[in-house]
Amino acid sequence: MKYEVIVVGGSFAGLSAALQLARARRQVLVVDAGAPRNRFAAHAHGFLGHDGKPPAQILGEAVEQLLRYPSAMLRQATAVSAAREGEEEFRLTLDDGSSLAARRLVLATGVRDELPPLAGLHERWGNTVVHCPYCHGYELETPLGVLAWHPVALHQAMLVPDWGPTTLFTQGLVEPDADEAARLAARGVHIEHQPVVELLGEAPALDGVRLADGRSVPVRGLFIAPRTRMASPLAEQLGCAFEDGPLGPLLRVDGTGQTSVPGVFAGGDAVTAFTNAPRAAASGVLAGVAAHRSLFMGLSA
């Protein structure tokens, strides 16, 4: 069977793309491995109309609404390979060995976060250790910390004081210049140069951090900007172009979500460095609409 469109990734971006296609009465299959990026957080925030809901509930409601459309289908599986097979044909192989064909692909496979190997950090990720103050800052107890793992930490340290008293732990990785130090001081940010070696307290709660010199500093919430990598190899297998983002590689798309490979569209965290669920949903909508348009306009339009 050949689908009109296969969407790989059934989270905020992929389901949004599929919804547009289903509403255009097009046959669309979503293939999803079921591991959205924010699955570590008990609640999602900042998504209009869904603020405070568990991520799985938001996505569950979205799937239920999508599958009301008779031309929409969902398959729980991991797509392990993708290739172009002809002018209007892409082939996808799933981890159960099955092989699927589609005229168009939408990649909404997201990114993976690469966290530093620090004792006590992984078990707090999405709870008391988070990356986005807009998503989770309001719920954190104070005082707060920003743990450098990337130069973006300086930007985070400027933001975070609006959520509570803040210490920037430089980890020997970032060194504010005189201007930056003055701006951080004006925001009341304390700078700690001794590296953090351990997170303290009964996880997922956080009571503080232990420094290399043995001191401990009370911190109830910690921000970190993880480096990211593509969550799936499909775009690379298809020959899609990438660009360097501030935290990791991003899939190159035009303003509609068209990748460098005609007929392959993309949306969500894989295409932008400023990531959140509403933005992923919006770019998924664009990719779905662009895929739909290409079905009747052709690949070169």
| Site for ligand FAD, rule CB under 6 A | 8-14, 31-38, 40-41, 44-47, 78-79, 108-110, 113, 126, 130-131, 135, 231-232, 234, 268-269, 275-278, 280
* In contact, 190 and 170? CB cutoff 8 Å: no
| SS3 state at 146 | strand
Which residue in the shown chain puts its C-beta closest to ligand FAD? 268
CB of 81 to ligand FAD, least distance (A): 9
CB of 276 to ligand FAD, least distance (A): 3
Give 72 or 234: the residue with its C-beta nearer to ligand FAD: 234
DSSP 34-79: S--GGGG-S---S-TTTTT--HHHHHHHHHHHHTTSTTEEEEE--E
CB of 214 to ligand FAD, least distance (A): 30
Give 8 or 191: the residue with its C-beta nearer to ligand FAD: 8
* In contact, 248 and 111? CB cutoff 8 Å: yes
Give 34 or 298: the residue with its C-beta nearer to ligand FAD: 34
CB of 197 to ligand FAD, least distance (A): 23
The dihedrals phi and psi of 73, each to the nearest 5 degrees, come to -135, 155
**Tokens 């398959």, residue?**
75
Give 238 or 277: the residue with its C-beta nearer to ligand FAD: 277
* In contact, 47 and 277? CB cutoff 8 Å: yes
Give 184 or 253: the residue with its C-beta nearer to ligand FAD: 253
CB of 86 to ligand FAD, least distance (A): 22
